[in-house]
Amino acid sequence: MKVSLFITCISDIMFPNVGKNTVEILERLGCEVDFPTLQTCCGQPAYNSGYLEEAKGSMKQMIRAFKDAEYVVGPSGSCVGMIREYPHVFKGDSEWEKPAQELAAKTFELTQFIVDVLGVKDVGSTFKGKVTYHPSCHMTRILGVKDAPKILLQNVKGIEFVELPSGEDCCGFGGTFSVKKPEISAEMVKEKSRHVTETGAEYLVGGDMGCLMNIGGRMQREGKNVKVIHISEILNTHN
């Protein structure tokens, strides 16, 4: 199966390991992975700030970049969620509505793709450690992916999985929200950090680097010893 990787701008620039792990997992599962280099950002920062025209520029570029792809897979519930919204953004646009629909229909979040499209529930990885999972808001509520990441995590050999209390609560990232309303965002991430600490987990995993960068940055600032990592790192470990 041919898969085009949608790296997301944040992982492209800040967290390249997420991309590396994603590529290796998909290849191990028998996919042929390519990377369309014309891709940029899904447009969410501008879109969520109300800058529709600026966002559309990005979105059109993404549609162009993945025009020929069979499947598009990205390691982020939020960014994939944004692409799934494209048809709504371009509704009534005679030129862009249809290509937007096509892109939305073939784009999947990594764990969603593995479980729902490839039909794989165990990626065959081994990981030793106590792990908790933050189900990010856009992954669960906008994209509707709730079970896939947990199924995959629970099938990792050697893992000790613990539920995160009040996991469904937002970590306070919210893209530009974190710098536009920093006081509120700060209280939210402090609460999230408290909940993670309560679990006694050594690792916090998630499927969205924006949220993880927020929670991880806060926990590091608090001097907490929890390692905050993307789910692809666990799914690509064989120790």
Partner 1 sequence: MSLKLEDIPFEEGVQKGIENDFMRQAVSGAQGRFRAGRLKQAQELGNWEDWRKLGEEIRTHTVNHIDFYLHQLSEQVEKRGGHVYFAETAEEANSYIKQVIQTKNAKKIVKSKSMVTEEIGLNDALAETGTEVVESDLGEWILQLEGDHPSHIVTPALHKNKEQIRKTFAQKRGYTGSSEPEELAAFARKQLRSDFLQADVGITGCNFAIAESGTITLVTNEGNADMVWTVPDTLITVMGMERIVPTWEEMEVLVGLLTRSAVGQKLTSYITAYTGCREEDEIDGPNDYHLVIVDNGRSNALGTEFQAALHCIRCGSCINVCPVYRHIGGHAYNSVYPGPIGAVLTPVLDGYDDHKDLPYASSLCGACTEACPVRIPLHEMLVLHRQKIVENGDTPFAEKMMMKGVGMWGGSPFVYKMSTKLAHSALKPWTKDETIENGPGPLKAWTAVRNLAAPPKQSFRSWFENRKKDGEN
Site for partner 1 contains 71 (CB under 8 A):
no
Type of residue found at 169 = D
Contact partners, residue 178, CB within 8 Å, separation at least 6: 172, 185, 214
- HSE on the CB side for 181, CA within 13 Å? 11
Site for partner 1 contains 49 (CB under 8 A):
yes
Only one of the segments 17-25, 105-113, 153-161, 197-205 lies at the binding site for partner 1 (rule: CB under 8 A); that segment is 17-25
CA distance 115 to 139: 15
Give the number of residues in contact with partner 1, rule: CB under 8 A: 68
Using DSSP, state whether 161 is helix, strand or coil. Answer: strand
Whether the Cβ atoms of residue 136 and residue 207 lie closer than 8 Å to each other: yes
Site for partner 1 contains 214 (CB under 8 A):
yes
Site for partner 1 contains 180 (CB under 8 A):
yes
Q: CB-wise, 172 or 206, nearer to partner 1?
A: 172
Distance of CA 146 to the CA centre of its chain: 12
CA distance 70 to 107: 9
Type of residue found at 132 = T
Q: Binder to partner 1 among 25, 26, 39, 104 (CB under 8 A)?
A: 39
Site for partner 1 contains 104 (CB under 8 A):
no
CA distance 148 to 139: 11
Q: CB-wise, 121 or 221, nearer to partner 1?
A: 221
Site residues (CB under 8 A) for partner 1, limited to 131-150: 137-138, 141-142
Site for partner 1 contains 213 (CB under 8 A):
yes
- Residues at the contact surface with partner 1, assessed by CB under 8 A: 7, 9, 11-16, 18-20, 23, 35, 37-41, 43, 45-55, 57-58, 60-61, 65, 137-138, 141-142, 168-170, 172-175, 177-191, 213-214, 216-218, 220-221
